[in-house]
Structure 1
């Protein structure tokens, strides 16, 4: 890797699995100081075990107070990669209004 992100402070949300995890690892391998957040403590612990230099923080990204508290703990952020999302199972026609609203909030 080229280490082109050396010294950059990057926060990756939903980093316990999938795109968020892959992105956190890629940023880390490019030299960034990565803080990975997720709702799932176990997947974060697994990520941290595999990559001890990636800082992990359990965070419910739907909780505004938790987000504010988390941001107060950061001194500087160069990049925020927001991978948080919600996927409804089934077709859009099967999606209940509450699930549709949740996916947009």
Structure 2
């Protein structure tokens, strides 16, 4: 494992998350806005995608990928059977459905 790459990835992830989610919290308190505001919603979404954004930035800076297309090929490992991907997506969907049920 490349410790430098992992450290850089984590730092970039948390910086992006802090900027966007922290900014979202500050702006919502200062201007009395809710998450229904489109600007805050966009900031919230970008903060949620911070690991994805950070992976591209850190891999690009360390010359592990040359462009966006190569990065997409690297993160979407097509070596696995299609049923593996279906199982993972359906399991996460089932988990989400079960979590929303009210237990009485």
Structure with a larger share of its residues in helix: 2
Greater Rg, structure 1 or structure 2? 2
| TM-score in terms of structure 2 length | 0.24
Structure with a larger share of its residues in strand: 1
| TM-score in terms of structure 1 length | 0.24
